[in-house]
Structure 1
Amino acid sequence: MATFPTPPRWMRRGPLREGAFRPNLHDERTASLIGTALGIAFTVCFVTGFISHELQLQRPPTWLPLPTHPVWFYRFTQGLHVATGLAAIPLLLAKLWTVYPRLFSWPPVKSLLNALERLSIGVLVACAVFELVTGLLNIAQWYPWHFPFTATHFWIAWIAFGSLLLHVAIKAPAIARGLRNRPAPDAEGALAAADGADADGATVPEAASARRGTVSRRVLMGSTAFAVLAVTATTIGQSVTSLRWLDFLGVRSPHDGPQEVPINRTAAQAGVVASAFHPDWALEVDGPRPYRLSLAELRAMPQYHSRLPIACVEGWSVDADWEGVRLRDLLARAGIPTGSLIRIISLEKVGYGQTVMQHEYADDPATLLALKLNGETLSIDHGYPARVIAPARPGVLQTKWVQRLELIIL
């Protein structure tokens, strides 16, 4: 293997000088502890994000049984996805802090294997930063880019998670060693003293004196834990409504919105105000026995009540009382058999103007074509004259301003 000369004296300054970094802040144990917490957060975030992606597909998932009960299933998984993603931000910053001195190690590349390892770490860091930044902006519904967020976020997540698994496999011995080894009470002082003399000839006492009052490992770990808890506590209220009084940093607060339910898209933005209030509006149901129902005829049918959460991909969710006609009754009247795939068509012509509903939702008695919300007629922004609400389904697929239901023949 090729040998690398010691860097010249003029280069051995700043971060390149010997003893430039405190070993107890950038050592193996600190990196292992923070890295393990970050790895757990990323794994939970990846798994829950994958579930969310599958539930939003406009086709039946090939592997995931669609759980309509408990009704809060999607609310829980998506809330956990957003919470762990936010918690991963201070963890990633702390992890990068513990390992950044290795950018200045000499030689910069020791072998081909070392070069590949450093390249994989670069991919991991880039993907992790991309996922966290774009996810945070998605929560705020700000999209200063021209690529499709959902697809890009999903596939970069696979690259990030694959890079994470590769990194863990390569660093497994070092991680295990760092988690297992606990320095003696005076070990940190000994490490600092051993690394005290720098390239310019500073003595150990001088170096130790210069370091007095600097951050210890315990302070670094405690500060990181506090940051994670603070971020989680001040945002979790958007998903856990009993903690909404703590929701200082959440973009959407539960009960902020018409009829005490938040909205992401108004009727004016969707361009449906005129058509929704048109006196000739009628629900069309297409099947073996197609028919049309006016709003008055829908209100004359047996009305059912469901208390279901509406949960958005941005992380906010809230329970609400919905009242309307059971969707399976409407489908049965048109001769559509149970177990069918249904297309729901909205008055909205863009975005999710058409959605596909799998039979698990369509056949569930809790799934309604809702006409009322929290005891009042649906507001226009919540989907007047009628909207779909189903248990454990992503909010983006709870179609508003419904115009037509139809059987999909495969």
Structure 2
Amino acid sequence: MRRGPFRSGAFHSPARGPRTAVVLGRWLGAALLLCFGTGLVSHLLQDPPGPPAALGLPTRPVWGYRVTQGLHVACGLAAVPLAGAKLWSVYPRLFEWPPARSGRHALERAAVAALVAAVLLELFTGLLNTLQWYPWPFPFRQTHYWTAWTAVGALLVHLAVKAPVIAAHWRRAQTVPANGRRTDGQRALLADERRALLAATAAAVGAVTLTTAGQSVPGLRALDLFAPRRPGAGGSALPVNRTAAQAGTAAVPAHWRLTVTGPTPYRLDLAALRALPQTTAVLPIACVEGWSADGRWTGVPLRDLLRRAGLPPGSAVRITSLEADGPYRTADLPAPYADHPRTLLALALDGRPLTPDHGFPARLIAPDRPGVLQTKWVTRIDPL
């Protein structure tokens, strides 16, 4: 009854085998674990456990999130050809019959099914997220996060069940075939086939990385052919994910004032903000979609505004945007960021006043922080 690609022996290749599967599994496992670790960094920055005032989040190096999120997206993209090669290497076993021959075998098949489904969902949704395309009804970020835990759990079960096979083929190829014999010529042919497959997979991973990593690695910008964003293209140093028109903030009210609350609350218009002592800092905008670029920001240090309102060092604050709605209309800023000397209420970018798309009249810019939390069109600052 099993026909076509599901029949026994379909798409036979001498390159398939436990050794090939183990080597590809090592590569794919490393990419997935790097994705998982760096993804946790992003998740904890956007959804910190507990109140922001109680957190001691890192603010140095100022480019830390640029590295972790750039690595997250690069590893995710590299995992696409790796996952394809890994599935190809074990394809005959995915559809073996009967589905379960014992309790151990049933556990192995269930873990493999969960692992394959979770990894494919992670890679598919993550890839479309880099394009900011969400053709599904469920929330991306929460689904991506919990699916990652599912994938890691299934991977651990799979490794435990397959540990003897993995150990047997970790450093060498299997030398005994089904009939108990293999000639030197056969061994050489199998080794050549395996090396060719692994070399092709490595080349595919390298090509994907070199043609997409330039969106976060300046040294690779010239090769950035397929990445969704190209910082610096079109004369703009910083791409924009959400425009002022999309946020409904293209027309800033003439009566705009910055409100800062605390023991001694106050309000300032744009002219008064510009009259305050200004600081210039070079800080990156690092986006969760994987791109990043440096900007030369000029504005008022946030800690100066907080001291003026009577807020002591160690105060966490909430930044509120003019944006009417959206998941990032407000952002909570833990004390290490609020106290950092390079955290600014920025009024200018690269020596020119902010444009509406970059947050005019004022925006937050802080070190080592996701771009979605660098609130634009700031109108209010409140203590937490």
Common fold by TM > 0.5: yes
Residue of structure 2 equivalent to 1:269: 246
- 1:107 offset after TM fit, Å? 3.7
Residue 371 (str. 1) matches residue 347 (str. 2): yes
Residue of structure 2 equivalent to 1:37: 27
Aligned residues of 1:241 and 1:254 also touching (Cα < 8 A):
no
Residue of structure 1 equivalent to 2:369: 393
- 1:284 offset after TM fit, Å? 0.6
Residue of structure 2 equivalent to 1:308: 283
CA distance in 2, matches of 1:317, 1:33: 32
- 1:25 offset after TM fit, Å? 1.9
CA distance in 1, matches of 2:110, 2:247: 45
Tell me which moved more, 346-355 or 380-389: 346-355
CA distance in 2, matches of 1:232, 1:63: 38
Trace 1:1-400 onto structure 2 (pairs within 5 A): 16-17=7-8, 21-22=12-13, 24-57=14-47, 60=51, 65-182=56-173, 216-256=193-233, 259-274=236-251, 276=252, 278-351=253-326, 352-400=328-376
SS in 2 for 1:133: helix
- 1:401 offset after TM fit, Å? 0.3
SS in 1 for 2:12: coil
Instruction: Classify 1:117/1:70 alpha carbon distance in 2 versus 1 (closer, same or farther; 3 Å).
Output: same
CA distance in 2, matches of 1:330, 1:222: 57
The alignment's TM-score, normalised by the length of structure 2, stands at 0.92
Q: Deviations over 1:171-209 (max 9, x none)?
A: 12211211222367xx8xx889979xxxxxxxxxxxx9x
CA distance in 2, matches of 1:266, 1:305: 24
Aligned residues of 1:263 and 1:382 also touching (Cα < 8 A):
yes
CA distance in 1, matches of 2:102, 2:88: 25
Instruction: Give unpaired runs (5+ residues) of structure 1.
Output: 1-9, 196-207
Aligned residues of 2:277 and 2:300 also touching (Cα < 8 A):
yes
Tell me which moved more, 59-68 or 245-254: 59-68
Identity within the alignment, %? 55
CA distance in 1, matches of 2:53, 2:379: 29
- 1:47 offset after TM fit, Å? 0.5
CA distance in 2, matches of 1:362, 1:228: 40
Q: In structure 1, what residue type is equivalent to 2:151?
A: A
The alignment's TM-score, normalised by the length of structure 1, stands at 0.86
Equivalenced residue count is 376
The structure with the largest alpha-carbon Rg is 1
CA distance in 2, matches of 1:164, 1:285: 49
Instruction: Classify 1:268/1:257 alpha carbon distance in 2 versus 1 (closer, same or farther; 3 Å).
Output: farther
CA distance in 1, matches of 2:5, 2:274: 76
CA distance in 2, matches of 1:268, 1:12: 55
Instruction: Classify 1:72/1:20 alpha carbon distance in 2 versus 1 (closer, same or farther; 3 Å).
Output: closer
Instruction: Classify 1:85/1:18 alpha carbon distance in 2 versus 1 (closer, same or farther; 3 Å).
Output: closer
Instruction: Give unpaired runs (5+ residues) of structure 2.
Output: none
Q: In structure 2, what residue type is equivalent to 1:232?
A: T
Q: Deviations over 1:49-105 (max 9, x none)?
A: 011000112655799741111100000000000000000000000000000101343
SS in 2 for 1:250: coil
Coordinate RMSD, CA, aligned: 2.5
